[in-house]
Structure 1
Amino acid sequence: MKDVAARAGVGLKTVSRVVNGEPGVTPDTERKVQEAIDALGFRRNDSARVLRKGRTSSVGLVLEDLADPFYGPLSRAVEEVARAHGALLINGSSAEDPDREQELVLALCARRVDGLIVIPAGDDHRYLEPEIKAGIATVFVDRPAGGISADVVLSDSFGGARDGVAHLIAHGHRRIGFIGDQPRIHTAQERLRGYRTAMEDAGLPVDERWISLGSTEPGRVGPVVEKLLTGPEPVTALFAGNNRVTVTAVRMLARRETPVALVGFDDIELADLLGITVIAQDAAALGRTAAERLFRRLDGVADEPARVELATRLLTRGSGEVPPAPGTR
């Protein structure tokens, strides 16, 4: 830094302000310092900075599955907010395994990340209490923490599912199948609750055979779709509990001669071209809101943990507007 200061003709403090993005430097001086940095090939010593400030300028993001398209915009939004705060984002996947989630979270803590954003796989997060007390800011996304009080940013899974099923009911359907994720998952529970509420509000009975919760793998979902659509009183419409269920349902319905109404929770790629009606979440807003809340905590805001719930949108594109076949109501 002394060499940079000498070449730019400024003091060490001025160089430090430019390097660390601090205010108080004129544009002309900042340009001179940056030119000196480029000419000398100067690189900031983050290790020394950590020792001096007690912060690593890094945050961890624990996702369910890095390959799931839903998490792409969410992760990108978190990264953009982190970058704006001069922080590095480190992410990993829990693969929906609570033990793996805990292992990954604690590994990030051991590497002294300043904060964590977690999409929970498990329902007991008391293992994080010592880390939070030690100063690691933590925000949960998509699902609340279990056993501890912490900030959480959610989509309105209940309201979105209720609106999607009500849309099918409004188009004449009375027998509606629900295919969801694992029953222990918060979002699966909330979307099933929304389904039941919509049916109840319309005065419609629910046959428990119309409901199927479990793995979202095609090997399970495919046979469930086939079973719901066959038999003496098949369902006339399907509500898919997340994007992976929707994709398999679309493939199964494409094999049928008679159209079947479908509404999916989560938008999917090409859904607009395929005419798939969905309840859309704003994954980028989830990530951005969670990251902004995390950095508020890191800046010293110490208010009570908050629950932030973002609205969903019904996007009508054709599949949810298919009426029941004659004689099937």
Structure 2
Amino acid sequence: MRDVAQRAGVALVTVSRVVNGIGTVREETADRVNAAISEIGYQRNEIARSLRPGQNSMTIGLLLGDLTNPFYASLAKAAVEVAAHAGYAVLLSTADEDPKVERRAVGELIGRRVAGLIIVPDQGDHAFLQEVNGHDQVPIVFVDRPATGAEADVVLVDNEGGGRMATQHLIDHGHRRIAILVAPSYYTTGRRLRGYRKALRQSGIEADEALVVTLRRGTTEEATAATHALLTSPHPPTAIFSTTGFLTEGVLRASQQLHARIAVVGFDDFKLADMLPTPVTVVTSDIEELGRRAARLLIDRINGEDSPFHRTVLPSRLIARGTGETAAR
């Protein structure tokens, strides 16, 4: 706490007021103190004070991405069920690809003396975990993607294999001009793009970079606009592979607006995909199993499992429903 006070240029009592939420502190001063806390990696072990000597925490921290994404909702549901069965409560937090928010959230969860952490890591460097977790040594399991600069158990989906599967399916139906919409290039969509390129290469098809569209934010609206531009271009694609469920929604919306006959394969299943006039072909995996595996691994580590870190990769599978089987013109 003394280091925080020195860095923020305030008295110890001011840091105490900010940390404990008591007294009155000017907003500008509180911001300086909180910034210093984030930079130093200080955590207030508020739950530690409530635990009796020898008593262990029965709480797990779960740090996810955008909770409006059904992927994370399914993952969280499964992890919470496994944790509850083992007698653990779950503290849920979200960072949504923001390194600063992620670092602060990790610090706060460790400060609350969680027994372990399940983290969907962002694209940044996670060497900071050595600093913020150096004293407590809380077990960590990464899920959906590995983390740069940190070693721990990780549970993944075969994104590259799924991307190759989706693209090969379109090739097998006669398509050669296959576009791909890529959400901001974090680990998962980057691997899906790699699978797309591998399928083209193995089939002797030269990739047309004009058909590789990397979006800035990965929203449905962006995907709608990008698909509209592709389909109204002088040399439009005959098929599109969309790398997330949000992007698939945009592709379908644009193709309907243009009354375009286009083959579509999306990555990640979504509600009512099989109920649309032309059911949507998707590559998917068992997201709930992803959450279950991560939670079981973490609980094993909490219970003293000290074997080398595991890298678990769950398979992807293709569900052919209709949009991916449209033949090339």
State yes or no: 1:97 paired with 2:98.
yes
State yes or no: 1:293 paired with 2:297.
yes
Match of 2:41 in 1: none
Of 233, 237, 240 in structure 2, the residue corresponding to residue 238 of structure 1 is: 240
Structure 1 stretches of at least 4 aligned residues deviating more than 2 Å after TM superposition: 46-50, 132-135
For 1:223-262, list aligned pairs within 5 A.
223-262=225-264
C-alpha contact (below 8 Å) 1:63/1:119 kept by paired residues: yes
State yes or no: 1:174 paired with 2:176.
yes
SS state at 1:51 partner: coil
Q: Deviations over 1:55-104 (max 9, x none)?
A: 21001111111111111111011101110111110111112211111111
Match of 2:309 in 1: 305
Of 222, 225, 229 in structure 1, the residue corresponding to residue 224 of structure 2 is: 222
SS state at 2:271 partner: coil
Alignment partners' CA distance in 1, 2:82 and 2:51: 20
Alignment partners' CA distance in 1, 2:227 and 2:271: 21
C-alpha contact (below 8 Å) 1:277/1:318 kept by paired residues: yes
Q: Which amino acid in structure 2 is aligned with residue 259 of structure 1? A: R
SS state at 2:257 partner: coil
After TM superposition, the score normalised by the length of structure 2 is: 0.82
Match of 1:5 in 2: none
C-alpha contact (below 8 Å) 2:48/2:112 kept by paired residues: no
Long gaps (5+) in structure 2:
1-46
Following superposition, the deviation at residue 133 of structure 1 comes to 5.8
Alignment partners' CA distance in 2, 1:132 and 1:139: 16
Match of 1:203 in 2: 204
Aligned residues: 279
Identity rate, percent: 38
Alignment partners' CA distance in 1, 2:123 and 2:267: 22
Alignment partners' CA distance in 2, 1:258 and 1:273: 19
After TM superposition, the score normalised by the length of structure 1 is: 0.82
SS state at 1:147 partner: coil
Match of 1:124 in 2: 125
Match of 1:85 in 2: 86
CA pair 211-133 structure 1, distance change in 2 beyond 3 A? farther
Alignment partners' CA distance in 2, 1:247 and 1:218: 6
Q: Which amino acid in structure 1 is aligned with residue 174 of structure 2? A: G
Match of 1:28 in 2: none
SS state at 1:273 partner: coil
Alignment partners' CA distance in 2, 1:260 and 1:210: 14
Q: Deviations over 1:117-146 (max 9, x none)?
A: 000123311111241662301000001011
Q: Which amino acid in structure 2 is aligned with residue 258 of structure 1? A: A
Alignment partners' CA distance in 1, 2:49 and 2:178: 61
State yes or no: 1:318 paired with 2:322.
yes
Long gaps (5+) in structure 1:
1-45
Alignment partners' CA distance in 2, 1:273 and 1:218: 19
State yes or no: 1:279 paired with 2:283.
yes
Alignment partners' CA distance in 2, 1:263 and 1:148: 34
Q: Which amino acid in structure 2 is aligned with residue 116 of structure 1? A: L
Alignment partners' CA distance in 2, 1:132 and 1:119: 20
Q: Which amino acid in structure 1 is aligned with residue 247 of structure 2? A: V
C-alpha contact (below 8 Å) 1:66/1:92 kept by paired residues: no
Match of 2:189 in 1: 188
Match of 2:9 in 1: none
Following superposition, the deviation at residue 169 of structure 1 comes to 0.3
Alignment partners' CA distance in 1, 2:250 and 2:259: 17
Alignment partners' CA distance in 1, 2:50 and 2:289: 31
C-alpha contact (below 8 Å) 2:221/2:250 kept by paired residues: no
Alignment partners' CA distance in 2, 1:161 and 1:298: 35
Structure 1 vs Structure 2 CA RMSD: 1.6
Q: Which amino acid in structure 1 is aligned with residue 136 of structure 2? A: A
Alignment partners' CA distance in 1, 2:50 and 2:288: 31
Match of 2:153 in 1: 151
Following superposition, the deviation at residue 265 of structure 1 comes to 0.3
Alignment partners' CA distance in 1, 2:117 and 2:240: 37
SS state at 2:171 partner: helix
Alignment partners' CA distance in 1, 2:202 and 2:184: 25
CA pair 256-161 structure 1, distance change in 2 beyond 3 A? same
C-alpha contact (below 8 Å) 1:163/1:314 kept by paired residues: yes
Following superposition, the deviation at residue 166 of structure 1 comes to 0.1
Alignment partners' CA distance in 1, 2:76 and 2:306: 25
Alignment partners' CA distance in 1, 2:229 and 2:260: 16
